[in-house]
Amino acid sequence: MPEAEIDSLAWIHVRDRRLLSVRTEGKAKFYLPGGKREPGEGDVAGLCREIRGPAPGREIAESAWLSSADAHLCPPAGRRMLGLLADTGLVD
């Protein structure tokens, strides 16, 4: 049975050849800022809602600027994005 699709949004912010990533309290992995879209919500509205404040229990403990060498610190979506950005020369 195929996996259910999750409709989520992420803020891809690159500065000085590094990707912004965050880690929530109690988690070891860094992820892309963003989250799941609410029903009927547009891209900009959903991303703004997610960036303004994480869901209760998902407080951001740390932010970091990661390179492709840091991919092991990320779950699959973050590793994929770092790889794509490195392939296009946008991150180290």
pLDDT of 1 higher than 70: no
Would you call 9 helix, strand, or coil by DSSP? strand
Q: Note the pLDDT of residue 51.
A: 82
Residue ranges of the domains in the chain? 8-87
pLDDT in tens, 20-71: 999 988 899 999 998 888 999 999 999 988 888 766 667 788 999 999 999 9
Banded pLDDT at 19 (limits 50, 70, 90)? very high
More confident residue, 26 or 90: 90
Answer for the pair 66, 82: CB distance below 8 angstroms, yes or no.
Answer: yes
Q: pTM of the predicted model, to two decimals?
A: 0.83
Which architecture, in CATH terms, is 8-87?
Answer: Alpha-Beta Complex (3.90)
| The two structure tokens encoding residue 90 | 């946008």
pLDDT of 3 higher than 80: no
